[in-house]
Copies of this chain bind each other. A is one copy, B any other.
Amino acid sequence: MRFMREAIREAKKGLAEGGIPIGAVLVKDGKIIGRGHNRRGQKSSAILHAEMDCLENAGRLTARDTRRCAMYSTLSPCDMCAGAILLYKIPLVVIGENKTFKGPERYLCRRTELVNLDLKECKDLMAEFIRKRPDLWNEDIGV
Answer whether residue A89 sits at the interface, using C-beta atoms and an 8 A cutoff.
Answer: yes
Measured CA separation A86–B81 after assembly (Å): 11
- Chain B CB within 8 A of A88 CB: yes
Q: Within the assembled complex, what's the spacing in Å between the Cα atoms of A8 and B97?
A: 41
A46 proximal to B (CB < 8 A)? yes
Task: Mark interface residues in A32-60 (1 if CB within 8 Å of B CB, else 0).
Answer: 00000000100011110000100110111
CB distance from A25 to the nearest CB of B (A): 15
- By a beta-carbon cutoff of 8 Å, the part of chain A in contact with chain B is 40, 44-47, 52, 55-56, 58-63, 66, 78-84, 86-89, 107, 138-139, 141-143
B46 touches A61 (CB 8 A): yes
**By DSSP majority rule, is chain A's interface helix, strand, loop, or mixed?**
helix
B46 and A58 within 8 A (CB): yes
Closest B residue to A78 by beta carbon equals B87
Query: Assuming A40-B60, A79-B84, what are 18 further A-B pairs, CB within 8 angstroms?
Result: A45-B60, A46-B55, A46-B56, A46-B58, A46-B61, A46-B88, A47-B56, A63-B142, A63-B143, A66-B142, A78-B87, A80-B83, A80-B87, A83-B83, A83-B86, A87-B141, A88-B142, A107-B107
